[in-house]
Amino acid sequence: MLEKSRASSKIKGLENNLTLEYLQSIDRDTCPYFEIPIKVYPRGRGSNNRPIDTKSLDRIDSARGYVQGNVTFCSWGANNLLSNYDADQLLAIPLLHRIGLNFLRLLNSTKPTNQ
């Protein structure tokens, strides 16, 4: 996932300061949005055939790059959903309300605090 994030950063002109050590330190087995187990599947599946629980790296605030403090592991299904809807849209759909709340919690955790 590190190499894929670097390639994506280069294409999109985004900053990337991720390291393997950092990604290992934030690794998780549960999607923070869908609250389901996530896992790595063998390569070879196309993006249209990925299971919803495939582990994916999400930029929490998509306006920022792949930088430490702005990424989390989540399910591919959640990452795909979040790339198409913002938090207000998710909160407007009752079924997706909890996902929207989880997204806002993570988004707010990436904001710098004024001290």
User: What ranges do the domains of the chain cover?
Assistant: 2-109
Its sign, for the CA torsion 101, 109, 6, 19, is negative
Rounded to the nearest 5 percent, the helix, strand and coil shares of the chain are: 45, 15, 40
Q: Taking the chain, what is the end-to-end CA distance rounded to the nearest angstrom?
A: 34
Query: What are the residues whose beta carbons fall under 8 Å from the beta carbon of 85, sequence distance 6 or more?
Result: 96
115 residues of the chain, pLDDT tens digit each: 899 999 999 999 999 999 999 999 999 999 999 999 999 988 765 556 789 899 999 999 988 999 999 999 999 999 998 888 887 887 787 767 777 788 888 888 877 666 5
Q: Can you give the pTM of this predicted structure?
A: 0.76
